[in-house]
Amino acid sequence: MFVLDSYPLAVAFCVVTMLCWGSWANTQKLVGSRWRFELFYWDYVLGVVLMGLIFAFTMGSMGDAGRGFMDDLSQAEARNIGLAFLGGIVFNAANILLVAAIAIAGMSVAFPVGIGLALVVGVVVNYVANPGGNPAVLFLGVAFITAAIVLDALAYRRLPGQQQVGVKGLVLSIACGLLMGCFYYAVAASMATNFSQPEAGKLTPYSAMVVFSLGMLVSNFALNTAIMIKPFTGEPVPLGDYFKGSVSDHFWGIVGGMIWAVGMTFSIIAAEKATFAISYGLGQGATMVAALWGVFIWKEFREAPAGTNRLIGLMFAAFVIGLVLIIVARVA
């Protein structure tokens, strides 16, 4: 299978993760006006599974390093398969809660509370489980990225209609952050620490990604069906509406899932050289990538009052500083 042989290349993979995780939601924006998120999400999950299988039978099955996908899966212990599967369930629940929080409380609450909390929890949990790098530099970088997320929230709160915050939205955001901060640890715990010579019974990145995606798919029948029947906001969505979507509606959902899956796969491939804490921390910088799309492509701040651009500038400055600190933490 394909494995990385250097830390700089691992950082490049983490940057790809950040770009993918911060960009997939654009596919939902392309169909959002006519296609409810609950319907989009079915195709999104299918896209994650499809991309996981593509990686498994290509990069995960070529070369002499490690174990090929099928051999790796066949020797894996049930406990490790269960952990990767659980990671998919936990992520799926967190992702659905995030979308619900955005719908109820807006970006200005959901992202700083949900993703900010996920960033801190995820880095702490993964660092404690698998220490690596300079903790002072790493957590200073996390602090700067958290500050950037807060500045992003302040900028969003200046937009018309973003000032009202409900208790339900705040609670959902906190629940999302706690779950989102833990899913990566479950996947990491299922995986070998040496991908070239993986320990017996453990999963390698490609098999872990496939099992993770199946956890998402299976749990989606319960989680997504439940919010279709009883959504947090809006009217219930009939299950049959999924089959009324156009080819374009389904296509963009699948593409969105595939984009996210590229990010997840690259993140866990990079984790051997970068550590799981650094790989996850860099990936969660995706919030700023999403903000870039919002500022420059979707023009979300065109109606913002004077002074908002200063907040946006400070946000990106804090993000860049945090990103550099997390990268150098491995070698500091």
Alpha-carbon distance 31 to 27, whole Å?
A: 7
Helix (H) or strand (E) holding 49: helix 37-57
How confident is the model at residue 163, as a pLDDT? 59
The domain segmentation of the chain, as residue ranges, is 7-329
Each residue's pLDDT tens digit, 232-251: 888 999 999 999 999 999 99
Each residue's pLDDT tens digit, 174-203: 999 999 999 999 999 999 999 999 999 999
Q: Which residues pair with 203 in a beta bridge?
A: 191
DSSP secondary structure, 3-31, as one string:
----HHHHHHHHHHHHHHHHHTHHHHHHH
The answer, yes or no, to whether residue 71 has pLDDT greater than 70, is yes
How confident is the model at residue 107, as a pLDDT? 66
Each residue's pLDDT tens digit, 121-159: 999 999 999 999 999 999 999 999 999 888 888 888 888
Alpha-carbon distance 164 to 78, whole Å?
A: 47
pTM of the predicted protein model: 0.93
For residue 222, what are its two tokens? 């319960």
Q: Please provide the average confidence, as pLDDT, over all residues in the chain.
A: 92
The CA dihedral of 142, 145, 151, 153, to the nearest 10 degrees, is -90
How confident is the model at residue 185, as a pLDDT? 96
Q: Which residues pair with 191 in a beta bridge?
A: 203
For residue 29, what are its two tokens? 């924006």
